[in-house]
Chain A
């Protein structure tokens, strides 16, 4: 049946044209049905193969399959064209429009700074310790070698509770106060643990200052204490330098100035210098106090100052945060204004 083969090509051309010109997916499906579906004309052609002489069948079958393959490829191409067109939104999307946000909170800047400090100290073997915010005179002052008449003890500078402690017969009636520094935790820890000690104490402290740009009656300190055999001023310097480089950047320079604290001897104040301080117009900026634990303090907690030495240092977390983020008013930390909190 030579005319079957001769009809094949014009038929294929017609079918291709119909598939390629289908205007939408339903029209395409219809064209598919008409030509290569189960009842399509090309399927029909295959059924007529049986009518051919045996020797002609392979060639004819091959030709029909080839044509059918071409049509199927054309169908696939047209289908993806039409599908893509259908998927395109009617109006183009404005990719510059704001997206639909999820609410995610942020950590308070004081928390972030505290965590950074804790992380650097933990790298060198410190662990976090804790103690009460309500203290007695003994732990806040006496045990730290504060002279009995020191102004820090004044009701002008320290908050006292209306009630007194009934803890032990010796403590009974002792005034309770809000700790003025985290150093009281040094005593609490050393009373309970034998040396060596390597702790870090973040926490709230209280001074009876009216709130202004640089004061808040509540603020945060962090205290480090290291007691061991043979601890030296050199160790103190090395550790302080390590931590502040971690915290404020490798370009930071540190210097120690002699100072006075009752619970350390020698005592120092620590200044730092960096691009940050220069931006504030200062070469050196005071950032922390420190010193070698006073032998009297060791005696007060029952450590032998001839055997053990140690150092302590402490600084204000607000101060670090204010320097780091260029915050100019300490009260911002306690107002919790979202426009403030979202910046960190």
Chain B
């Protein structure tokens, strides 16, 4: 909503400069989004009267004058001689700037001494003002010029003003009008609202019909509970006067002609959209009067709005029609077939109240949003329908020279009953944290137009607080006031929220089971970051194609923005692949990322949304360095495995199995299932399939893992128990086994475990070798076995005995040859 400061001042007195006005409105809840000053051409120049004119004591060519500027007398030193006491002259005040003449820079006037005499301003010549008058010396004004009047006003030019661009919250339709905003200002200042200069009723004595000139038929009073029509005859359609055109331009409305401009002006003034029809284009039934029919559109009916667009209507839409055709799309836009044109002489003026939800649906369905539909959608003041019509009629008489036909039609079959709300003053104080007196609260509410309807306020005794409730009648322009708490807000607003004392935090300690989980998530993040991975945040919405990389049946959106974002991620991996691609395309070649977030999987009764954690590695494993043979070495699957091992161990998860999949899912060229205790599935790890890597423009090998975080955290062991440090030395024995390629590390460990060898503390793989001296399809695995007793130093004989047992078992179970 745009409004200007001067326009507001027509309805209520206030002295705040534009910035302060903006601040006050903002703190009242009308957020000012922009201020656009319109400078007067003659800012700081006023009409002054010359009182005396004497020679300058120190200069022959100068004169010393006393002038009256409407507020005070001033001494002015002047070089011109063409004026006399009693003349009205333009005076520029100190601080103001003379209009910039093209070839000269702007001149700011200061109080200064000229040849020893102070001069408080300057009398202006037409040349200095940039006016065409060919006079030597000071411009002499008409004798009837008003002393103190702004010079711009004297010339009939635009005065300075500021347009305020306000954000109106949807609950306050009344503020989509200059009057509504002025009403707020009146409420805070306590100054009266000059609601209008409108005569009570131009047709007060006239009958409330249009005496055989037109008729209105409401076919659906639910959608249009009130319809007011007036007729003006003999109007002259033409351009609006300057003041009206300028005003509309300042608030961003294009001036069209006087009739249309008046309907727009009154809409901005009152918030009530109006429509003017050319009466001669409204048909009458045979032997009847021109008739307005407010009805639903017929199935299949089309209508051309005045912007030339043709619309297919549905019976959900309300149409203003005459007996033969639609003439306006109710509350949204008029029709081309009945609009005002240059030769219009008779006008039917519509002022109506339409059901907001219906207008909203119609405007949305047709993609047609107008200033009128915007206001009807939010709800206009049903108490103002007739008043706005009269106001527009008055302006049409003044500005378009029409004759108002006696009477009006006001179809309002079921007048709205005003809302009543009781206010308990102590409850307001309790909620707001204030100690206001009931009288103060009542005053605030009455300033907003709420009327107390308790005939006799019961006497309030100071001892027997709380005071009794007071019931207020809510004015028709405040549909947002529905219950007591809404009155509390009004009291807080008018009192000033800044005056509510802030109280230090206090009260109950919260409790929620998720609080602990939140800490687990934070710990998980810190752990992964410390392992060298950067945290990523991916899009929840991804393409169905990407979703199908990991899920057969992704959860889909009904109304996606695009096919790139039409599915909910079933996995964090597609998002990480996007991030890898983004980085590689920007020459970040070495990337290690993790993400923690929700994924979405089909489920009954509704999809599940477990949290996952995912890792992605590509490029070099070490930060750049300038020396060393391994500095260019790239990540491999064992880096990923190592990260997972460290990560899971730190979470307190043991007995994790990594089971290679013979038929990996399409995402991977090679992958393993990660299981807890060999049974509970936790997730997967593997190498991205090269075909997909190419699709994602990933040039180097990519390693991915994803785990169900909820599952991990649900099973992790937070408690730790200290084991005494060993006192006696350990003995290490190394063995190199030559085994077929199919024998896994897990198989070796399983065989070792079978022996239940005493004193065996640790088995560590320290070398894997293929090639020279190793048969084809075989490998050499070198293990270090550590033996230790808790209560003594082991002898060689003891160690040999148990170690031989282990080696024998390996030979037996795995067909291992021992390499010497």
Measured CB to CB, the residues of A under 8 A from B are 97-98, 100-108, 110-111, 115, 118, 124-130, 132-134, 149-151, 154-155, 159-163, 165-168, 171-172, 175-176, 178, 189, 193, 196-200, 204, 206, 208, 210, 216-218, 226, 228, 230-235, 237-239, 241-242, 255-260, 265-269, 292, 294-296, 309, 333-339, 341-342
Is the CB–CB distance between B505 and A124 below 8 Å?
yes
Is the CB–CB distance between B360 and A334 below 8 Å?
no
> Which of A106, A118, A268 contacts B529 (CB under 8 A)?
A106
**In the complex, A334→B576 CA distance in Å?**
10
Tell yes or no: B325 within 8 A of A by CB: no
In the complex, chain B residues whose CB is within 8 Å of the CB of A104: 529-530, 532
Is the CB–CB distance between B433 and A103 below 8 Å?
no
Min CB distance B595 to A, Å, is 8
A127-B514, A258-B27 are known; give 6 further A-B pairs, CB within 8 A.
A217-B565, A232-B430, A233-B432, A238-B503, A336-B579, A338-B583
17 contacts between A and B (CB under 8 A): A105-B534, A124-B505, A160-B559, A162-B557, A199-B510, A216-B539, A217-B561, A218-B540, A231-B507, A232-B433, A233-B432, A238-B504, A266-B485, A266-B489, A334-B537, A336-B536, A336-B538
> Which of A105, A126, A296, A309 contacts B430 (CB under 8 A)?
A309
Q: In chain B, what residue has the closest Cβ to A268?
A: B497
**In the complex, A303→B541 CA distance in Å?**
36
Is the CB–CB distance between A234 and B503 below 8 Å?
yes
In the complex, chain A residues whose CB is within 8 Å of the CB of B529: 104-107
Is the CB–CB distance between A233 and B431 below 8 Å?
yes
Known: A108-B536, A125-B510, A268-B497. A260 touches B609 (CB 8 A): no
Measured CB to CB, the residues of B under 8 A from A are 26-29, 31, 169-172, 356-357, 360-361, 364, 430-434, 480, 483-486, 488-489, 492-493, 497-498, 500-512, 514-515, 517-518, 522, 525-526, 528-541, 555-561, 565, 568, 579, 582-583, 586, 588, 591-594, 597-598, 600, 604-607, 609, 621-626, 628
Min CB distance B697 to A, Å, is 15
**In the complex, A189→B27 CA distance in Å?**
33
Q: In chain A, what residue has the closest Cβ to B489?
A: A266
Known: A105-B531, A233-B492. A338 touches B588 (CB 8 A): yes
Is the CB–CB distance between A228 and B507 below 8 Å?
yes
In the complex, chain B residues whose CB is within 8 Å of the CB of A166: 604-606
**In the complex, A334→B623 CA distance in Å?**
24
Is the CB–CB distance between A161 and B557 below 8 Å?
yes
Is the CB–CB distance between A235 and B506 below 8 Å?
yes
Q: In chain B, what residue has the closest Cβ to A122?
A: B515
Q: In chain A, what residue has the closest Cβ to B515?
A: A127
Min CB distance A304 to B, Å, is 13
In the complex, chain A residues whose CB is within 8 Å of the CB of B29: 257-260
In the complex, chain B residues whose CB is within 8 Å of the CB of A130: 512, 514, 517-518
In the complex, chain A residues whose CB is within 8 Å of the CB of B493: 258, 266
Is the CB–CB distance between B532 and A129 below 8 Å?
no
In the complex, chain A residues whose CB is within 8 Å of the CB of B586: 337, 339
> Which of A129, A149, A335 contacts B360 (CB under 8 A)?
A149
Min CB distance B736 to A, Å, is 32
Is the CB–CB distance between A258 and B485 below 8 Å?
no
Is the CB–CB distance between B509 and A333 below 8 Å?
no
Is the CB–CB distance between B583 and A336 below 8 Å?
yes
Is the CB–CB distance between A126 and B510 below 8 Å?
yes
Is the CB–CB distance between A204 and B598 below 8 Å?
yes
Min CB distance B586 to A, Å, is 6
Is the CB–CB distance between B607 and A103 below 8 Å?
no
Is the CB–CB distance between B488 and A265 below 8 Å?
yes
Known: A125-B509, A266-B492. A230 touches B540 (CB 8 A): no
Is the CB–CB distance between A335 and B579 below 8 Å?
yes
Min CB distance A181 to B, Å, is 15
In the complex, chain B residues whose CB is within 8 Å of the CB of A260: 29, 169-172, 480
Known: A257-B31, A336-B593, A337-B582. A342 touches B534 (CB 8 A): yes
Is the CB–CB distance between A105 and B561 below 8 Å?
no
Q: In chain B, what residue has the closest Cβ to A267?
A: B489
In the complex, chain B residues whose CB is within 8 Å of the CB of A268: 497
Is the CB–CB distance between B605 and A127 below 8 Å?
no
| 4 nearest CB pairs, A to B | A234-B433, A258-B29, A198-B510, A232-B433
Known: A103-B592, A103-B622, A105-B594. A110 touches B537 (CB 8 A): yes
**In the complex, A206→B360 CA distance in Å?**
24
Is the CB–CB distance between A127 and B511 below 8 Å?
yes
Known: A129-B515, A217-B565, A267-B489. A334 touches B433 (CB 8 A): no
In the complex, chain A residues whose CB is within 8 Å of the CB of B28: 258
Q: In chain B, what residue has the closest Cβ to A311?
A: B431
In the complex, chain B residues whose CB is within 8 Å of the CB of A168: 605
In the complex, chain B residues whose CB is within 8 Å of the CB of A232: 430-433, 503
Q: In chain A, what residue has the closest Cβ to B169?
A: A260
> Which of B172, B480, B537 contacts A108 (CB under 8 A)?
B537
Known: A108-B537, A149-B360. A103 touches B532 (CB 8 A): yes
Known: A237-B502, A260-B169. A294 touches B485 (CB 8 A): yes
Is the CB–CB distance between A103 and B500 below 8 Å?
no
Q: In chain A, what residue has the closest Cβ to B512?
A: A129
Q: In chain A, what residue has the closest Cβ to B358?
A: A149
In the complex, chain B residues whose CB is within 8 Å of the CB of A197: 508, 510
> Which of B171, B356, B532, B555 contacts A163 (CB under 8 A)?
B555
In the complex, chain A residues whose CB is within 8 Å of the CB of B361: 149
Is the CB–CB distance between A228 and B508 below 8 Å?
yes
In the complex, chain B residues whose CB is within 8 Å of the CB of A118: 518
Known: A208-B559, A257-B26. A97 touches B535 (CB 8 A): no
Is the CB–CB distance between B605 and A198 below 8 Å?
no
**In the complex, A228→B505 CA distance in Å?**
12
**In the complex, A124→B500 CA distance in Å?**
21
Is the CB–CB distance between A111 and B598 below 8 Å?
no
In the complex, chain B residues whose CB is within 8 Å of the CB of A162: 555-558
Is the CB–CB distance between A165 and B538 below 8 Å?
no
**In the complex, A140→B624 CA distance in Å?**
49
**In the complex, A132→B588 CA distance in Å?**
35
Q: In chain B, what residue has the closest Cβ to A254?
A: B502
Is the CB–CB distance between B522 and A226 below 8 Å?
no
Is the CB–CB distance between B508 and A167 below 8 Å?
no
In the complex, chain A residues whose CB is within 8 Å of the CB of B555: 161-163
In the complex, chain B residues whose CB is within 8 Å of the CB of A103: 532, 592, 621-623
In the complex, chain B residues whose CB is within 8 Å of the CB of A167: 605-606
Residue from A161, A292, A336 with most neighbouring chain B CB atoms (10 Å)? A336
In the complex, chain B residues whose CB is within 8 Å of the CB of A226: 507
In the complex, chain B residues whose CB is within 8 Å of the CB of A336: 534, 536-538, 579, 582-583, 593
Is the CB–CB distance between A106 and B534 below 8 Å?
yes
Q: In chain A, what residue has the closest Cβ to B507?
A: A228
> Which of B514, B526, B531 contacts A107 (CB under 8 A)?
B526
**In the complex, A234→B497 CA distance in Å?**
9
**In the complex, A336→B492 CA distance in Å?**
45
Is the CB–CB distance between A101 and B625 below 8 Å?
yes
In the complex, chain A residues whose CB is within 8 Å of the CB of B488: 265-266, 292
Is the CB–CB distance between B534 and A341 below 8 Å?
yes
Is the CB–CB distance between B539 and A218 below 8 Å?
yes
In the complex, chain A residues whose CB is within 8 Å of the CB of B504: 238, 242
Min CB distance A125 to B, Å, is 4
**In the complex, A197→B539 CA distance in Å?**
32
**In the complex, A146→B624 CA distance in Å?**
55
In the complex, chain B residues whose CB is within 8 Å of the CB of A97: 626
Q: In chain A, what residue has the closest Cβ to B587?
A: A339
> Which of B512, B560, B622, B626 contacts A199 (CB under 8 A)?
B512
**In the complex, A265→B491 CA distance in Å?**
12
Known: A167-B606, A238-B502. A339 touches B518 (CB 8 A): no
Q: In chain B, what residue has the closest Cβ to A266?
A: B489
**In the complex, A100→B624 CA distance in Å?**
8
**In the complex, A132→B540 CA distance in Å?**
14
In the complex, chain A residues whose CB is within 8 Å of the CB of B483: 295-296
In the complex, chain B residues whose CB is within 8 Å of the CB of A100: 623, 625, 628
**In the complex, A295→B118 CA distance in Å?**
68
Known: A104-B530, A129-B514. A255 touches B498 (CB 8 A): yes
